[in-house]
């Protein structure tokens, strides 16, 4: 009797131990992952959304234009089995990032990956640009990116997993005259990404910076210049960003040709780079002005 009692007791203790172990160990996360994409209503943002949908992500779409976001959400959900949420936001507003974060929390959503794609440029020199317009550009390209990285990055660190992609520019690597603070703001995004990569190393959270060159979107026209003749296809650029982000790459330059050109250009004296960049940008601005006059 004593022997059987001991056996039963040992079995009970073993079962209890196994149960407690299973409760305390980290359980695998089988839910579908969710990505937040800013600037999703056009250009690279739309292509990012399509690519993430193809890979089975649920998607939070944000930009200022709700009609375009609604149309994109409808497109993405057709036959894909994913879920989308539309949250309009103006990230050029000083409170836009916090309001977006609060709206995501109110919906009970967990953001596994963040694509900081929203950004803008404006042609004009630093001394001549309207100060209010410059402030909005800095808030959009610097302030909101920093705040969203901090807010959603904190949540990712607590969970021990996550990915952030900041869409910078090839202009981050050198002088970018005639577009006032656009180039410097993109240099900030690159340095922020590099800094956070080091800070979050070992936490399970990766930070990447996508640095595309000219791309065939409406961005250049809205900024007041014509597309370069070697502008890339936005889908190809977004796909390179997606794949590099998933691999945890820090700096992503979308093509070998762009990398080679960047290496050559950076070998030139910085004064020469500044002058050559200014001449090139002026030619694209002049070309766009002529196109608009002809129409």
Catalytic residues: 182
Are 225 and 288 spatial neighbours (Cβ–Cβ below 8 Å)?
yes
Give me the phi and psi of 25, to 5 degrees please: -75, 150
β-pair partners for 124: 179
Alpha-carbon distance 41 to 21, whole Å?
47
In 3D space, the residue among 40, 50, 114 whose CA is nearest the CA of residue 76 turns out to be: 50
- Kind and range of the H or E element at 15? helix 2-24
The number of beta carbons lying within 10 Å of the beta carbon of residue 233 is: 13
How would DSSP label each residue in 139-187?
Answer: IIIIIHHHHHHHHHHHHHHHHT-EEEEEE--GGGGS--TTBTTHHHHHH
CB contact set of 255 (below 8 Å; sequence gap of 6+): 213, 232, 236, 240
Could you give the C-alpha distances from 79 to 54, 89, 190, 210, in angstroms and in order?
11, 27, 37, 30
């Amino acid at each position: 009797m004593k022997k059987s009692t001991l056996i039963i007791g040992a079995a009970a203790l073993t079962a209890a131990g196994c149960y407690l172990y299973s409760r305390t160990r980290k359980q695998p996360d089988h839910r579908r992952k969710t990505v937040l994409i800013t600037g999703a209503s056009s250009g690279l943002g739309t292509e990012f959304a399509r690519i993430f949908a193809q890979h089975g992500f649920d998607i939070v779409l944000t930009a200022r234009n709700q009609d375009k976001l609604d149309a994109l959400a409808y497109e993405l959900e057709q036959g894909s089995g994913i879920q989308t949420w539309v949250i309009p936001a103006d990230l050029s507003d000083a409170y836009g990032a916090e309001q977006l974060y609060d709206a995501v929390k109110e919906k009970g959503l967990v953001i596994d990956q963040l694509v900081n794609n929203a950004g803008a440029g404006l042609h004009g020199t630093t001394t001549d640009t309207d100060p209010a317009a410059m402030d909005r550009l800095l808030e959009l390209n610097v302030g909101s990116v920093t705040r969203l990285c901090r807010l959603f990055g904190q949540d990712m660190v607590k969970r021990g997993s996550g990915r952030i992609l900041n869409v910078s520019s090839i202009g981050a690597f050198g002088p970018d005259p005639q577009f006032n603070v656009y180039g410097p703001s993109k240099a900030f995004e690159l340095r922020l990404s590099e800094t956070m990569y080091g800070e979050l190393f070992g936490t399970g959270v990766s930070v990447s910076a996508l640095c595309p060159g000219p791309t065939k979107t409406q961005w250049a026209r809205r900024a007041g210049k014509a597309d370069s003749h070697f502008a890339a296809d936005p889908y190809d650029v977004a796909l390179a960003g997606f794949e590099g982000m998933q691999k945890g790459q820090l700096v992503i330059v979308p093509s070998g040709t762009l990398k080679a050109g960047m290496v050559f250009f950076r070998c030139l004296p910085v004064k020469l780079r500044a002058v050559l960049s200014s001449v090139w940008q002026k030619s694209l601005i002049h070309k766009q002005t002529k196109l608009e006059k002809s129409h």
